[in-house]
Amino acid sequence: MVILTKTVEFSTSGSGDMVEITDKVQLGITESNMKNGVAVIFCPGSTGAVSTVEYEPGLKKDIPKAMQRLAPYGDDYAHHDTWDDDNGSGHVQATIIGPSLTVPFTDRKLTLGRWQQVVFIECDTRARERKLIVQILGE
Amino acid sequence: MVILTKTVEFSTSGSGDMVEITDKVQLGITESNMKNGVAVIFCPGSTGAVSTVEYEPGLKKDIPKAMQRLAPYGDDYAHHDTWDDDNGSGHVQATIIGPSLTVPFTDRKLTLGRWQQVVFIECDTRARERKLIVQILGE
Amino acid sequence: MVILTKTVEFSTSGSGDMVEITDKVQLGITESNMKNGVAVIFCPGSTGAVSTVEYEPGLKKDIPKAMQRLAPYGDDYAHHDTWDDDNGSGHVQATIIGPSLTVPFTDRKLTLGRWQQVVFIECDTRARERKLIVQILGE
């Protein structure tokens, strides 16, 4: 088995911003020279989520709307009493969507659908600098 | 390490249809002759999700109702403006539930609970032919 | 490759109880003597979920509130007709949040953020004894 860990860094514009990272994950696989295995994409932070989406302008508006339904920004959050913060909604959204995604690859290529991209979903209320972990296990 | 990739194919009847695939995943483990490891079940498409459920007739009605709460079919979706499509709700549901599931196996058996099954959840609004990736890593 | 499987056991107090298990997962990695790899944390049951959260008293109240929005306890569930049970809400919540979490580790340490902990989220309506599977794959 070979294990390769890389990081992917980018900036986000705040709540609901979706950043596509498919090419960076695929590049890690290509560089690793592994043929088959899995890529684990993980957000080391409690206000960010990782999933897949058809990355097009419409869904970039629709997903944030649904996140507001999961945990509206304007609600009262006990989290705000702990830290005098305003991002309780983002913590709740991130926990439900999840910080981790595992995608198999075969013949050196991610097994994504044609209209399916890997995205980081910013759940925090403010713009952030993010650094994701991409760990590739295979042979 | 051994890596085995197989595909699981089936038809769905449209939004909220849950298809149980536990036996097919277990069969892959049995055929692989691996003793311990993980099975990664992945949907290569942006309108399908993978999770576990107690697969019984009641929850086959309850889960689709909750999916409608996450992203109601009748809402306005910017995604529809992009493609003149009607499945924005399904894209949103699939991104939130997630396209990937990882289940450990030990002694050649999935570590599922007695009342827990692996399911594909159709989020698209229409009936679809689906092909999932099941990748088994272990030894 | 090395594969190590351990179990983590604890009691919960019922719906919305979050139990932090970060140290137990990290201990498994330390004991395994592996340097790099992934920890898969899996709930073998259909009314429990695994994710990450900033584990502080505020969010321990906020997350359960959002779970009630996903699937309110007081709604009608067809699941209750199947078993004369009262935990349909918990099944729905667990399927949406998901039973599985995969966290990479590097240099013998989980790649979690500073304010990010691994938690089991009890979705069942009653107090439960839980036994999670933690499977560590790496080298």
Contact C70 A71 (CB under 8 A): no
* Among candidates B3, B79, B98 on the partner chain, residue whose Cβ is nearest the Cβ of A139: B3
CA gap C125, B128 in Å, rounded: 35
- Rg for chain C, CA atoms, rounded: 16
- Asked if this assembly's ipTM is beyond 0.95, the reply is yes
| Per-residue pLDDT at A70 exceeds 90 | yes
How many Å lie between the alpha carbon of B98 and the closest alpha carbon of chain A?
Answer: 6
With contacts defined as CB-CB under 8 Å, which chain C residues touch B123?
none
Q: Are strands B117-122 and A48-53 parallel, antiparallel or unpaired?
A: unpaired
CB within 8 Å: A79 and C66: no
Give the CA distances from residue C16 to residues A75, A131, B42, C5, C115, in Å, rounded to whole numbers and listed in that order.
Answer: 18, 30, 28, 27, 20
Domain ranges of chain B: 2-138
Paired with B8 in beta bridges are B132
The pair of three-digit structure tokens given for residue A37, joined into one six-digit string: 């295995």
Tens place of pLDDT per residue across chain C (139 aa): 899 999 999 999 999 999 999 999 999 999 999 999 999 999 999 999 999 999 999 999 999 999 999 999 999 999 999 888 999 999 999 999 999 999 999 999 999 999 999 999 999 999 999 999 999 999 9
Residues A34/C52/A116/B9 CA torsion (nearest 10 deg): 80
Looking at residue C84, its pLDDT comes to: 87
Supply the Cα-derived Rg of chain A in whole angstroms: 16
Query: If you average pLDDT over every residue of chain B, what do you get?
Result: 97
Chain A nearest-CA residue for B89: A62
- For residue A123, the distance in angstroms to the closest alpha carbon of chain C comes to 13
CB C22 within 8 A of CB C8: no
Tokens of B139: 């030894």
Q: How far is A121 from chain C (nearest CA, A)?
A: 15
pLDDT digit string, tens, across residues A106-138: 999 999 999 999 999 999 999 999 999 999 999
Note whether A42 contacts C1, CB cutoff 8 Å. no
Instruction: Report CB contact under 8 Å: C81, B58.
Output: yes
Q: Name the DSSP letter for residue A126.
A: S
Give me B120's structure tokens. 């594909």
Average pLDDT over residues B21-38: 97
Nearest CB to C99 within list B52, B56, B69 = B52
Decide if pLDDT at B83 tops 90: no
pLDDT of residue A35: 98
Question: What pLDDT score does B102 carry?
Answer: 98
B56 and C79 within 8 Å at the Cβ level: the answer is yes
Q: Find, among B28, B33, A5, B35, the residue nearest to C5 by Cα.
A: B35
Residues A6-35 have a mean pLDDT of 98
The answer to whether the CB atoms of B95 and A56 lie below 8 A apart is no
Whole-number pLDDT of residue A83 = 86
Q: Which fold has domain B2-138?
A: Jelly Rolls (2.60.120)
Distance from CA of A78 to the nearest CA of C (A): 4
Q: What is the mean pLDDT of residues A33-61?
A: 98
Band of pLDDT at residue A30, cut at 50, 70 and 90: very high
